[in-house]
């Protein structure tokens, strides 16, 4: 970046489209499915045949409201659809049914954690709209083809205020949105399949200025990496322009992932004339308090809420709490294990130990083997955690031997299994002393160094005893015995 980069502040606002995972389209019973054969899900409404009328999909409204609640928005109980006119070959009606003056959700914010701490990304609104179809230009030399499967599928568009200032923030925001839509199960969040797409609006202004600069809009970014790269590239390009006293015009641009730069696709007039007007074929929506309460009450506990509970109530570190709330499945599994302890009458629960197990060996074995979390019996995992806490089995033997064993054979019981595997740690002092002595005799040089003050060597001795005992030595006692013997 130019040496003058510090002179300017970047301002970024994002428009994120998320495809709702409803069974049918927004205004018709045609299937809303990715990957079908071309034009398989195209009925008379999708084709906009004369005489057909739209009918709103209730589930789509429900999903939009769910997202609004998850993003701390105000839900507009009265909201309505509008026609947005533009000519587009894959838009059979000649207009897109969207929301304009009164969308379903207004305001709101999403919390992100940057390298400088927590901050809120302010939302302008969230609205519902239908997607367009797809033109295919590369299948034939003479003709363009059209696939209308996507036409009429339901989207929400999440529009932020121009409140972000770096590619990092924008990337974290999209990551958080993807986590949220997956968490509440309204969209699969698969950006590579186009389930989430992002337009990035970027402008620069002199540092300290309050008036916004002229923006450019980079369309259709289909990965978090590309969102970040497009913003970085635009900041660099516009910085160079301003440094050369060039004027920035409002533009729509596209991103070329092969060289991480953007190129202009059209100049944007001051304001687009979409000739919006209220959709006459759909009545305004009146969402009852009961409808909204029902949605609110059925929403799963949100990641921010669980994060706060794990951190403030359970006393876990921010890192541990964040790791546990990366995905709903993991948070729910953690909750299940905690419940198991409560259910079995434990009053002092070691939350840190449970978090360590789930963020450590459990996640590792899930990643390595591809098994589902629910294949690890929570009750048995809690028994493993307890057997380690009591000092009967070492953490490493428990994670390397007991954990895989309870996944492989659902019928085994933890304590007998530990005996069968011969991994119960010895508390027998005589046996421990023999191992300690053997190690001391084996390493006279190190022992001398230790006695001269290299106290850090104790870890080495303990490790040697561990090896010698094949993990069966209780290491706390071993450390004490070693310290006594080396006095």
Token readout for 191 is 């950006």
Task: Indicate the Cα dihedral angle 379, 380, 383, 389, nearest 10°.
Answer: -110
Q: Spell out the residues 6+ positions from residue 450 whose beta carbon is closer than 8 angstroms to its own.
A: 457, 458, 461, 486
Shortest Å, Cβ 259 to ligand ADP: 24
**CB-based contacts of 267-276 (< 8 A; 24+ apart in sequence):** 268/217, 272/86, 274/84, 274/85, 274/86, 275/83, 275/85, 276/82, 276/83, 276/84, 276/85, 276/100, 276/101
Quick one: which segment of 11-19, 43-51, 320-328, 472-480 binds ligand ADP (CB under 6 A)? 11-19
- The verdict on 153 binding ligand ADP (CB under 6 A) reads no
Stretch that binds ligand ADP, among 31-39, 198-206, 288-296, 468-476 (CB under 6 A): 198-206
Select 14 or 386, whichever has its Cβ closest to ligand ADP.
14
Q: Is residue 334 within 8 Å of residue 321, measured between CB atoms?
A: no
CA 63 vs. chain centroid, Å, equals: 18
- Exactly one of 159, 240, 287, 485 binds ligand ADP (CB under 6 A); that residue is 159
Nearer to ligand ADP, 90 or 161 (CB): 161
Q: How many angstroms separate the CA atoms of 168 and 165, rounded?
A: 8
Q: Comparing C-alpha atoms, which of 237, 165, 160 is closest to residue 208?
A: 165
- Cα distances (Å, whole numbers) of residue 365 to 50, 296, 333, 403: 57, 35, 14, 9
Q: Is 161 in the site for ligand ADP (CB under 6 A)?
A: yes
* Contact status: 212 vs ligand ADP (CB under 6 A): yes
With contacts defined by CB under 6 A, how many residues of the chain interact with ligand ADP? 15
104 binds ligand ADP (CB under 6 A): no
Element (H, E) at 401: none
- Establish if 201 lies at the interface with ligand ADP (CB under 6 A): yes
- The answer to whether residue 215 forms part of the interface with ligand ADP (CB under 6 A) is yes
54 interacts with ligand ADP by CB under 6 A: no
Contact pick of 8, 13, 231, 307 for ligand ADP (by CB under 6 A): 13
Minimum separation from the CB atom of position 163 to ligand ADP (A):
7
Stretch that binds ligand ADP, among 126-134, 145-153, 212-220, 458-466 (CB under 6 A): 212-220
Binding of ligand ADP by 203 (CB under 6 A): yes
Residue 178 beta carbon to ligand ADP: minimum distance, rounded to whole angstroms:
17
* Residue 160 makes contact with ligand ADP by CB under 6 A: yes
Which stretches of the chain bind ligand ADP, using CB under 6 A? 11-15, 159-162, 201-203, 212-213, 215
């Amino acid at each position: 970046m130019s040496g003058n980069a510090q002179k300017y502040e970047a301002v970024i606002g994002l428009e994120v489209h998320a495809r709702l995972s409803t069974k049918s389209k927004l205004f018709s019973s045609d299937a809303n499915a990715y990957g079908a054969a071309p034009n398989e899900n195209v009925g008379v409404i999708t084709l906009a045949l004369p005489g057909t009328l739209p009918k709103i999909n209730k589930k789509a409204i429900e999903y939009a409201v769910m997202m609004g609640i998850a993003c701390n928005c105000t839900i507009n109980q009265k909201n309505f659809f509008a026609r947005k006119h533009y000519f587009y070959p894959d838009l059979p009606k000649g207009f897109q049914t969207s929301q304009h003056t009164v969308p379903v959700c207004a305001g709101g914010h999403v919390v992100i954690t940057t390298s400088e701490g927590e901050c809120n990304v302010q939302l302008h609104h969230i609205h519902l709209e239908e997607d367009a179809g797809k033109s295919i230009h590369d299948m034939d030399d003479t003709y363009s083809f059209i696939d209308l499967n996507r036409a009429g599928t339901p989207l929400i568009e999440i529009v932020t205020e121009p409140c972000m200032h770096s590619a990092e923030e924008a990337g974290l925001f999209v990551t958080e949105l993807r986590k949220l839509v997956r968490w509440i199960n309204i969209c699969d969040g698969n950006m590579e399949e186009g389930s989430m797409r992002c337009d990035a609006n970027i402008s620069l202004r002199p540092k300290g200025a309050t008036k916004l600069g002229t923006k450019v809009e980079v369309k259709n970014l289909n990965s978090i990496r590309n969102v970040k790269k497009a913003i970085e590239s635009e900041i660099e390009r516009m910085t160079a322009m301003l440094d050369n006293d060039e004027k920035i015009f409002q533009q729509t641009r596209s991103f070329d992932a092969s060289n991480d730069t953007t190129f202009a696709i059209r100049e944007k007039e001051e304001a687009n004339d979409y000739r919006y007007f209220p959709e006459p074929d759909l009545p305004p929506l009146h969402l009852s308090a009961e409808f909204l309460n029902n949605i609110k009450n059925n929403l799963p506990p949100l990641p921010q809420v669980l994060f706060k509970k794990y951190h403030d109530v359970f006393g876990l570190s921010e890192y541990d709490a964040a790791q546990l709330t990366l995905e709903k499945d993991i948070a729910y599994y953690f909750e299940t294990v905690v419940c198991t302890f409560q259910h079995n009458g434990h009053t002092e629960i070691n939350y840190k130990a449970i978090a360590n197990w789930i963020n450590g060996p459990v996640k590792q074995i899930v990643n390595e083997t591809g098994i589902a979390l629910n294949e690890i019996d929570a009750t048995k995992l809690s028994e493993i955690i307890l057997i380690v806490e009591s000092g009967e089995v070492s953490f490493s033997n428990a994670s390397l031997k007991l954990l895989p064993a309870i996944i492989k054979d659902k019928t085994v019981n933890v304590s007998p299994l530990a005996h069968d595997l011969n991994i119960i740690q010895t508390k027998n002092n005589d046996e421990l002393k023999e191992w300690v002595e053997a190690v001391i005799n084996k390493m006279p040089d190190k022992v001398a160094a230790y006695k001269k003050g290299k106290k850090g060597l104790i870890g080495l001795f303990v490790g040697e005893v561990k090896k010698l005992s094949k993990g069966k030595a209780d290491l706390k006692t071993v450390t004490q015995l070693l310290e006594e013997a080396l006095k």
